Structure 1
Amino acid sequence: MNEFATIDIVVFVSYCLLIVSLGLWVSRDKKGHQKNAEDYFLASKSLPWWAIGASLIAANISAEQFIGMSGSGFAIGLAIASYEWMAALTLLIVGKYFLPIFIEKKLYTIPEFVEKRYSTNLKTILAVFWIGLFVFVNLTSVLYLGAKALDTIVGNGDGSILITSIIGLALFAAAYSLWGGLSAVAWTDVVQVVLLVFGGFITTYIALDQLTPEGGFFRGLSHLAEVVPEKFSMILSKGEIITPNGEDAWLDLPGLGVLIGGLWVANLYYWGFNQYIIQRTLAAKSLKESQKGIAFAAFLKLLIPLIVVVPGIIAYVMNLDANGVLNSASVDPTFINPEDGEIVNDNAAPWLIKSFVPAGLKGLVLAALAAAIVSSLASMLNSTATIFTMDIYRPYFNKNATDKQTVTVGRITAAVALIIAVSIAPLLRNLGQAFQFIQEYTGVVSPGILAVFITGLFWKRATNNAAIWGVICSVPIAMYFKIAPEGWSDAAIFLDLPFMDQMLYTSLLSIAIILVISHIEGKGRDDEKAIPLSGKLFETPPAFNISAVIIMILLVFLYAFFW
């Protein structure tokens, strides 16, 4: 077991100082220019395409992926990579069909679009919802998973440094993001995405090299495919893969339903209407620059499974017994939950890093993990501050707020959100596959939100009342699919469906509610706030079009090869 050496500490601390210094430097007040709202929340609308693409990936790839998705790779295999590969196609759709409307409307926040298309009431409802989601789900889960990884890698995995790690990660993110705003977040992301990709590849390479006596990256990949070919199936059948804890993986990734079903709900919601993701695209120099950044991010998404999914499969193979079976006796003690004896899938990546990455490189890999965690925390904090300040504070508390007051409130909001998240994070324990857990319970609310936006963007007859009823009804619809009363689970009135199918049906039913109420209320007329659409609005530059074609060809190849 490789210990955490002095050189690792030096490398890690040097990285921390570099990021904080860079964040404070790029966001400094220029001579004679005091930071205003556009500077703080939208980086002065000055981001180039490569910074946008890097920042999108850095905001997205966090402990949820490095730890949670590696855990799902351990339990399920490459099939979980659909979240990454289908995200590449989703990004292209967002760049071509959503961004032109958002940028033409000169938005600061996604709830602001709701106000322009529907009403202030619905905007406020959704703004409060998003703030709650960021603080109580996103920030807390990233802090907990990141701290859990540090506890495993640096500590003994017994929770002894869990609280210290949570506080340390929070202070790290706060050190530059609270003061610098989106400029600090986006420009440090450029450095952090390079580090997290490089650090992730180091872990994958070293782990693959350990798989065979001869060593070697490609020999390791070949060995994986020979030993566990089922782990490289992208489209799962019922019963094809049973997770270490005895569950059918098909319930998480239901075959073709992944490609043509509920995964589209999760991805379109996340990449198209998620404030902390879309905010950096709104900060572009121009629409074309933003679209090029989206295409760059889509290319990077094709590479991500190699650094966040494959390590989980490697850890699975390394813990098989002599008969090729994984059980509580064969796995390293790190994987066993002392409370119930269950196998903890999400310890896959931390175990690989602690066990096989040598001194010196371990500090670099740990810095890459911290980069993934801190960049996402910083993005979430900035977006929470943006929504509260622009959608709640300004309209309801101080309509005439100065730029200085606005920025100050933004900083205070981010600080309060972080304190709440730090307080709650230690309570998140025994999540099993954390990535799947987060996806499933976010899926209770995302279908209704997606229905509101899709109809608002592309159906001129959608009315405000219909949208409100659609989003309100979506939650009980989702809960109907998810939770049956005790003893009623076999009753014909309840359906036993994979959660992806639940999301799809919830979204379709929510859209149907909006269509019906809009038709009754509007009597077939266009809504007065309908968005005028034209073919010219959706024209994209050659660089985006060429990139889109190449990405789609690569996606077809990947799915054909791993089908």
Structure 2
Amino acid sequence: MQLSVLDISIFVAYVLTIIGIAWWVSREKAGHEKNTNDYFLAGNSLPWWAIGASLIAANISAEQIIGMSGSGYQIGLAIASYEWMAALTLIIVGKFFLPIFLKRQIYTMPQFLEQRYDHRVRSVMAVFWLGVYIFVNLTAVLWLGALAIHTISGVDILYGMIFLALFSITYSLYGGLKAVAMTDIIQVVLLVVGGVFLTYTVLTLIGDGGGVVSGFVTLTRELPEKFDMILAPSNPHYKDLPGLSVLIGGLWIMNLSYWGFNQYIIQRALAAKSIHEAQKGIAFAAFLKLLMPLIVVLPGIAAVVLIPDLERPDQAYPSLLSFAPSGLKGLIIAALIAAIVSSLASMTNSISTIFTMDLYAKYRPGLSQHHYVLIGRVASFSALAVAMLVAQPLLGQFDQAFQYIQEFTGFFTPGIVTLFVLGMFWGRTTATGGLVAALGSALFSVALKLLWPELPFIDRVGVVFVLCVMVAILVSLLGQAPATERSVELKDINFSTRPGFNLSALAVVIILVAFYGAWW
């Protein structure tokens, strides 16, 4: 693919703009030095629009754009359930989970677990999340991002990973979460505008002079099987998206874990000015999630018509860029890189937060704020270095990396959701009960995968969740009741929400009913 001088100029301007804005928002007033609250929680100063944009920028990365477009190419619109059901999940998180977390004034999810349970749970889950973030999430974003750069420009995948890592460090390492969140506003605008333009371009080509609507109608007529939202058991991809389970089964468990208890996602809301700003940001993000399939899934389906002989589904999105005109191509590439580096920056910032606050500061207390911020920066850099080393061995052999990531994390999400939900809403849950459920999740998942291999992984997540809840309740009832001060006193939590949030929730539900009604 040939990039024009205009394309390259647009991309270079984007890189310089992001770095410049990040350094500008990261500057300190005379006499003030960054402390841990500044670096990890942006000084609790984020407004709703920054929270909403940053939530989406952290979420939409290479695994969504490249991986989900690949799944759109392979499976069809049904993969959009991950996006659309996430919108409703965000509303639930904003209504029921955020008030509890913000009341506790926490930095990290493991910190909440120590407040609710004990130090054992905090340490175990901190180590677990560090492993998953580095060896699954960070490696996936680096690998798929570098794969996209390779497809677009021919640059070696290793050099692509080095570029992405250095770019994300350049604008995020000094400023911390504030630099990440504020630049994410530009990243999301680029992502939406670039993605919409690419969708417009490919549909116009398929329409053959009839415009975007004609292109969409042609696509649905030529590929009707790609527009089934609820797959029948006879569908060859039923095991990936098993029918109604995407609406009432294990997908809920995966979404609640990701949007409610995932550090690099929820950290933005923890940094809000107030609970109401956080909830407005959550609602804003929910509407953006409804838009995402237009940007990431529909182009993948269009690629079936335009580029039917791809070697790998994950090549769909990068290959479509060859159809974009000069200038627009540079904008779309900038949008793609924006999504990748914003996720890298978000993940490394959260990795540094968990490592510093949950492990390092726990065992080396009383040191200066400057020291802890420095340790956080070192942790960010080290995590990226490790991820680059292991990315190719872990992900190089998969055709649909998005599906691989979902299945792998599905081994652990049932236990995580059990640990948090019972901890928040059932005061009798003990630390041992929660920990057994969290650790048992992987054992139950592996056992079911080996003994019942034909069970779709989303259904397996639902079954394992039920088993984890049963085990947690049984172990808790057999043990001594936890101390009263460790319980979450729900009567002290204000779950009421403002009219604007309630109207947003209603609108999300209506839109989802319309979508699923149209493509059932």
Cα distance in 1 between the residues matched to 2:263 and 2:511: 29
**1:371 is matched with which residue?**
338
Per-residue CA deviations over 1:463-491 (Å, capped at 9, x if unaligned) read: 0111111112111100011234xxxxxxx
CA contact (8 A) 2:428 2:476 kept: yes
CA contact (8 A) 1:23 1:177 kept: yes
**2:78 is matched with which residue?**
79
* Candidates 314, 327, 335, aligned match of 2:302: 314
* Candidates 460, 464, 468, aligned match of 1:506: 464
**2:502 is matched with which residue?**
545
Per-residue CA deviations over 1:222-264 (Å, capped at 9, x if unaligned) read: 1111111121111110123xxxxxxx21100000011000100
Q: Which runs of 5+ in 2 are unaligned?
A: none
Cα distance in 2 between the residues matched to 1:104 and 1:62: 30
Change (3 A) 1:73 1:439: same
Cα distance in 2 between the residues matched to 1:436 and 1:526: 41
Instruction: Give yes or no for the alignment of 1:361 onto 2:360.
Output: no
Residues 40-55 of structure 1: pairs in structure 2 closer than 5 A: 40-55=39-54
Aligned-pair distance for 1:215? 4.0
How many equivalent pairs are there?
Answer: 519
Q: Specify the code of the residue in structure 2 equivalent to 1:350.
A: P
Aligned-pair distance for 1:361? 1.2
Residues 229-248 of structure 1: pairs in structure 2 closer than 5 A: 229-240=224-235, 248=236
Cα distance in 1 between the residues matched to 2:492 and 2:514: 30
CA contact (8 A) 1:62 1:376 kept: yes
**1:399 is matched with which residue?**
365
Residues 325-474 of structure 1: pairs in structure 2 closer than 5 A: 331=309, 335-336=310-311, 344-353=312-321, 355-396=322-363, 398-427=364-393, 428-474=395-441
Name the SS of the counterpart of 2:9 in structure 1.
Answer: helix
* Candidates 442, 453, 477, aligned match of 1:475: 442
CA contact (8 A) 2:208 2:215 kept: no
**1:341 is matched with which residue?**
none
Cα distance in 1 between the residues matched to 2:181 and 2:277: 15
Cα distance in 1 between the residues matched to 2:283 and 2:142: 29
CA contact (8 A) 2:145 2:161 kept: yes
Residues 499-538 of structure 1: pairs in structure 2 closer than 5 A: 499-522=457-480, 528-534=485-491, 537-538=494-495
CA contact (8 A) 2:42 2:177 kept: yes
Aligned-pair distance for 1:137? 0.8
**1:256 is matched with which residue?**
244
Instruction: Give yes or no for the alignment of 1:557 onto 2:511.
Output: no
Cα distance in 2 between the residues matched to 1:456 and 1:406: 29
Alignment TM-score, normalising by the size of structure 2: 0.98
Aligned-pair distance for 1:528? 5.0
Cα distance in 2 between the residues matched to 1:317 and 1:237: 23
CA contact (8 A) 2:251 2:458 kept: yes
Cα distance in 1 between the residues matched to 2:262 and 2:112: 12
CA contact (8 A) 1:67 1:346 kept: yes
CA contact (8 A) 2:103 2:493 kept: no
Aligned-pair distance for 1:535? 8.2
Q: Specify the code of the residue in structure 1 equivalent to 2:508.
A: I
Name the SS of the counterpart of 2:243 in structure 1.
Answer: coil
Cα distance in 2 between the residues matched to 1:361 and 1:81: 25
* Candidates 296, 300, 309, aligned match of 2:284: 296
**2:275 is matched with which residue?**
287
Residues 158-169 of structure 1: pairs in structure 2 closer than 5 A: 161-169=156-164
Q: Specify the code of the residue in structure 2 equivalent to 1:223.
A: T
Aligned-pair distance for 1:495? 5.7
Q: Specify the code of the residue in structure 2 equivalent to 1:3.
A: Q
**1:135 is matched with which residue?**
134
Aligned-pair distance for 1:426? 2.8
**1:245 is matched with which residue?**
none
CA contact (8 A) 2:207 2:213 kept: no
Residues 32-181 of structure 1: pairs in structure 2 closer than 5 A: 32-155=31-154, 161-181=156-176
Alignment TM-score, normalising by the size of structure 1: 0.90
Aligned-pair distance for 1:536? 5.7
Deviates more, 1:30-39 or 1:530-539: 530-539
Q: Specify the code of the residue in structure 2 equivalent to 1:285.
A: K
- Give percent identity, aligned residues only: 53
Name the SS of the counterpart of 1:210 in structure 2.
Answer: helix
Deviates more, 1:418-427 or 1:68-77: 418-427
Q: Specify the code of the residue in structure 2 equivalent to 1:41.
A: F
Cα distance in 2 between the residues matched to 1:534 and 1:541: 19
Higher helix share: 2
Instruction: Give yes or no for the alignment of 1:226 onto 2:221.
Output: yes
| Cα-Cα RMSD | 1.3
Name the SS of the counterpart of 2:487 in structure 1.
Answer: coil
CA contact (8 A) 1:82 1:258 kept: yes
Change (3 A) 1:536 1:391: closer
Aligned-pair distance for 1:527? 5.5
Q: Specify the code of the residue in structure 2 equivalent to 1:152.
A: T
Aligned-pair distance for 1:530? 1.3
Per-residue CA deviations over 1:467-520 (Å, capped at 9, x if unaligned) read: 111112111100011234xxxxxxxxx462000001111111011100011111
Q: Which runs of 5+ in 1 are unaligned?
A: 241-247, 321-330, 337-343, 485-493
CA contact (8 A) 1:166 1:425 kept: no
Cα distance in 2 between the residues matched to 1:306 and 1:345: 18
**2:20 is matched with which residue?**
21
Change (3 A) 1:526 1:495: farther
Per-residue CA deviations over 1:73-110 (Å, capped at 9, x if unaligned) read: 00110000000000000000000000000000001001
Per-residue CA deviations over 1:113-165 (Å, capped at 9, x if unaligned) read: 1000001111000000111111111111100000001100111xxxx511111
Name the SS of the counterpart of 2:494 in structure 1.
Answer: helix
Cα distance in 2 between the residues matched to 1:82 and 1:118: 34
